[in-house]
Structure 1
């Protein structure tokens, strides 16, 4: 694409549309497939999960979407990458309702992610997704690059993890490098931790 599409701050009014788009984007994601092995259950549960994540990132982060809602990045500010106990308690009942019998697998993924987060101050790219109908148009990359320009502004590092090996090249294009790789215990997915210097 010659010009990057504009990004806008996602508000409460965007919540359902962003959650539905992210559910489509993560339909075949290895981590989501581990948490919800049945594709029909996954399709039903992911919109509610992404609604919760969208809400959780409001207090200590920035939620950005392309103007048409085709791609989104949810960022957590320095010092707020990990989910605190207060946040967990606030979302306990909705999480139980969303995960149901998948709660154990979800906690295994969450705990492994938290255990591999680096120390220090950095912007955490919590979620990045692009609607499958719009992939290959540069919109996902624009949401990542535009988000980096907006949050890190060249002064702060950024961190992410991904369970999708094919995404490594995209993130490397935007300055991330692989810190290491690891697997969620109990037969869980393989993840790559990635870091971007200021």
Structure 2
């Protein structure tokens, strides 16, 4: 890729577009398939869920989107990786509306992710996705790299987890190292934790 597409801070006006794109991007994601076992329900409810995560990550860090909305990343700043109890209470109604029958499975995934978050200060790449129709053009990489460039001066490492083994090579190409492999209880998906040094 010679010219990286423009990646900008996402505005509130981008919420519906980004949430719908992420629902498409994560349609076959193992964690989403575990939470929403029915693909029709998944298509309907996952956009609601990503809309809520879009809102939460506005206060926790930053949200980036490529021009045209084909790729997006949500980042949580140092000390903001965990969702606070207050945020959980505030979003309980909307989360129940988004998750429906997938609530308990979503809590299992969330609890497992929280249990494997590293100690100390770091940036957390919470969500990264690219519209399936636009994959293979370097847009996802550009969206991640734009975030890494923005936090480069912090002197802190960056953490992520992925339930897709084929993502490991993609993130290694961006400087991340594999640090752990683990599985969500009760038949949940396997995840890989990765850290990029400061």
* TM-score (normalizing by structure 1): 0.98
CA-to-aligned-CA distance 1:52-75 (integer Å, 9 cap, x gap): 000000112100011111100000
CA distance in structure 2 between the partners assigned to 1:176 and 1:2 by the alignment: 22
State the Cα distance separating 1:121 from its structure 2 match.
0.5
Which runs of 5 or more residues in structure 2 are unaligned? none
Question: Which residue number corresponds to residue 67 of structure 1?
Answer: 67
Question: Which residue number corresponds to residue 128 of structure 2?
Answer: 128
CA distance in structure 2 between the partners assigned to 1:111 and 1:195 by the alignment: 19
CA-to-aligned-CA distance 1:130-173 (integer Å, 9 cap, x gap): 00010000000011111100123362100000001111111000
CA-to-aligned-CA distance 1:53-103 (integer Å, 9 cap, x gap): 000001121000111111000000000001110110110000111111111
User: Contact between 1:123 and 1:152, CA under 8 Å: does it hold in 2?
Assistant: no
* TM-score (normalizing by structure 2): 0.98
Shift of the 52–157 alpha-carbon distance from structure 1 to 2, 3 Å rule, reads same
CA distance in structure 1 between the partners assigned to 2:188 and 2:152 by the alignment: 31
2:18 matched to 1:18?
A: yes
Question: Which residue number corresponds to residue 157 of structure 1?
Answer: 157
Question: Which residue number corresponds to residue 113 of structure 2?
Answer: 113
Which runs of 5 or more residues in structure 1 are unaligned? none
User: Contact between 1:152 and 1:158, CA under 8 Å: does it hold in 2?
Assistant: no
CA distance in structure 2 between the partners assigned to 1:153 and 1:166 by the alignment: 29
Aligned to 2:74, the other structure's residue is in SS state: strand
RMSD: 0.8
How many corresponding residue pairs?
Answer: 198
CA distance in structure 2 between the partners assigned to 1:88 and 1:151 by the alignment: 26
Question: Which residue number corresponds to residue 90 of structure 2?
Answer: 90
CA distance in structure 1 between the partners assigned to 2:96 and 2:81 by the alignment: 22
Runs of 4+ residues deviating >3 angstroms: none
Aligned to 2:80, the other structure's residue is in SS state: coil
User: Contact between 1:158 and 1:196, CA under 8 Å: does it hold in 2?
Assistant: yes
CA distance in structure 2 between the partners assigned to 1:119 and 1:154 by the alignment: 17
Moved more, 3-12 or 147-156: 147-156
CA distance in structure 1 between the partners assigned to 2:51 and 2:152 by the alignment: 25
